[in-house]
Structure 1
Amino acid sequence: MLTIGELASYAGVTVRTVRHYHATGLLPEPERDRSGYRRYDGGAVIELIRIRTLAGAGVPLARVRELLRADPDEFAAAVADIDRRLRAEIAERRRRRERIARLTSGDGLVLPPEVVGVLDRLRALGVDERIVRLERDGWIPLAAQAPERTVEWAARKREQLADPRLADFYRTFGRALDWAAGDPRLEGLADRVADYVTRVADERGEDYVGDIGVAPPLVALMDALAFDTAPPARRLIELLEERGWTGWTRLERVD
């Protein structure tokens, strides 16, 4: 017969754990002998090891009690169910870890990697960080409302940024943030942008420069973000309209 300390040692647990299992009713508590000690037999060791193994596998103690009384078929079915639950929990924890990791990655918290790549490309091209933030803020509602198309739009944007003329427009507009609304340089910028957009639309089709497939209310929201963040944008749009194009988020020819 074994003392509680010996029982705990054989089963690989602490005495405190044995007493906890007694208190919860998982492990029967033997009567004390004449010396006032509780004595355990080999069956108690086996039962305690079973409890320890199930608990160590993540089985809630309430389920452990159920499994200890189950027949082989019930035990197998219950273990399979627990395994499915654990797999789902592991997958959810992995997703949480990925979200936590994105907390340290700035733009990646709310944007997919493809869009983050576009923003990084703008920075690599020397675009003013204020313009990068403006671009980012426009992508956030887009990605939230139409995640299935965001990858497509990001790929198109990266393709467009391969054109040195567009990259230069981005850099110029960064400088234009410090211009007054009446600055004559905006006229020259509008001329260049209108010429560029017209050429691309003629070569690739108007959908290439203007189709983003977003509902008008969202387009209006994104335009408002741009106008609030970059005041010269509103004046530039007015100048572009005089040159045959209208819109900011969605460029369209003026009839």
Structure 2
Amino acid sequence: MLTIGQLARYVGVSTKTVRVYHAKGLLPEPERDSSGYRRYPAQAVVELVKIRMLADAGVPLARIRELASAPEQLDSALQQLDADLTTRIKLLRDTQRRLRKLAAGDIRYLPEEVERHLDGLPGLGFTQRWIAMERDLWIIVYATHPDIADTWFQDQTQALTNPELRQLYLACDQAHDLDPADPSLTELADRIVAASIHRYGAEPPGQAADATIAELLQSTVNASSPALRQLDSLIRNGLEAGGFTLRTGAG
């Protein structure tokens, strides 16, 4: 008969661990003898070795207790745990690869096609300020609406191939520092309204974002400049007057 210290030492665990196994119902706790000590039989060594082996293999203590009452399920349970571990390893490796890319400065928040598009905007005359804002907007769109983000992106890139529409985008960029009362904003808004109705008719193509995200996108643009906030108001009024269905989108 063994004391708890002897049992723990023979199996290679601490007495605290043995007590945890008692508390979890994994190892029966013997009655105290006449001297007030708990004495463990040889079978306790066998049971403790089994528990330790399963625990060291990564089997949760709750599962060990279940398997103790249904040993015939041990093989299938271990196979499932092995499959779960394989999945966890893959996720950890994926996380490690992303961390290494981040550390190397080689991580993209946007699809490669969108990054190439943004990289080409300086050549079209857009300011770095405008490009940075567009990047943030596209990050929001692709994060919240991956199902429609490509449709919006293709619509914008197609617009930029049209010289007249490209000039409107450039004019919006250049309007950033204007006084909100500058009359040129009204003229620019009228041109954008006319171009939008001419291009889309009464309604823009593709699906709409939910109202919260749509307003978040537009508020991001408006917050960057009082002039752009005024331009947005003028455009909205003009589109509504023209019977156009408003849908806020990136760019």
**What TM-score do you get using the length of structure 1 for normalisation?**
0.55
One-letter amino acid of the structure 2 residue matched with residue 232 of structure 1: L
Residue of structure 2 aligned with 1:113, choices 103, 110, 114: 110
Aligned to 2:106: none
- Displacement of 1:80 in angstroms is 4.7
CA distance in 2: counterparts of 1:219 and 1:245, whole angstroms: 23
Mapping 1:1-255, distance limit 5 Å: 2-30=2-30, 38-40=38-40, 42-72=42-72, 74-80=73-79, 90=88, 113-114=110-111, 117=114, 121=118, 125=122, 126-127=126-127, 129=129, 133=133, 136=136, 140=140, 144=144, 146-158=145-157, 160=159, 169-181=168-180, 183-186=182-185, 189=188, 210-214=204-208, 225=219, 229=223, 230-235=229-234, 249=247
Identity %: 33
CA distance in 2: counterparts of 1:220 and 1:59, whole angstroms: 47
Q: Secondary structure at the match of 1:29?
A: coil
CA distance in 2: counterparts of 1:40 and 1:140, whole angstroms: 63
Q: Residues 18 and 190 (structure 1 numbering): CA distance in 2 closer, same or farther, change over 3 Å?
A: closer
Q: Residues 11 and 215 (structure 1 numbering): CA distance in 2 closer, same or farther, change over 3 Å?
A: closer
Q: Residues 139 and 157 (structure 1 numbering): CA distance in 2 closer, same or farther, change over 3 Å?
A: farther
Higher RCO (CA 8 Å, separation ≥ 6 residues):
2
- Displacement of 1:67 in angstroms is 0.9
Contact 1:51 1:64 in 2 (8 A): yes
CA distance in 1: counterparts of 2:210 and 2:37, whole angstroms: 81
Instruction: Give unpaired runs (5+ residues) of structure 1.
Output: 105-111
CA distance in 2: counterparts of 1:25 and 1:250, whole angstroms: 60
CA distance in 1: counterparts of 2:206 and 2:247, whole angstroms: 8
Q: Secondary structure at the match of 2:29?
A: coil
- Displacement of 1:241 in angstroms is 9.9
Deviations 1:24-61 (A, max 9, x none): 43213345668765554553333112212333445443
- Displacement of 1:248 in angstroms is 6.7
Q: Residues 221 and 115 (structure 1 numbering): CA distance in 2 closer, same or farther, change over 3 Å?
A: farther
Instruction: Give unpaired runs (5+ residues) of structure 2.
Output: 103-108, 224-228
Contact 2:118 2:135 in 1 (8 A): no
- Displacement of 1:17 in angstroms is 0.6
Contact 1:118 1:157 in 2 (8 A): no
One-letter amino acid of the structure 2 residue matched with residue 70 of structure 1: A
Q: How many residue pairs were aligned?
A: 227
One-letter amino acid of the structure 1 residue matched with residue 48 of structure 2: L
Q: Secondary structure at the match of 2:207?
A: coil
Contact 2:190 2:235 in 1 (8 A): no
Q: Residues 3 and 18 (structure 1 numbering): CA distance in 2 closer, same or farther, change over 3 Å?
A: same
Q: Residues 32 and 227 (structure 1 numbering): CA distance in 2 closer, same or farther, change over 3 Å?
A: closer
- Displacement of 1:14 in angstroms is 1.2
Q: Residues 40 and 245 (structure 1 numbering): CA distance in 2 closer, same or farther, change over 3 Å?
A: same
CA distance in 1: counterparts of 2:12 and 2:163, whole angstroms: 69
Q: Residues 130 and 24 (structure 1 numbering): CA distance in 2 closer, same or farther, change over 3 Å?
A: same
CA distance in 2: counterparts of 1:52 and 1:216, whole angstroms: 53
Deviations 1:118-159 (A, max 9, x none): 699289735464785588569857864x53222343355356
CA distance in 1: counterparts of 2:30 and 2:210, whole angstroms: 76
Say which is worse superposed, 58-67 or 112-121, in terms of deviation.
112-121
CA distance in 2: counterparts of 1:119 and 1:233, whole angstroms: 27
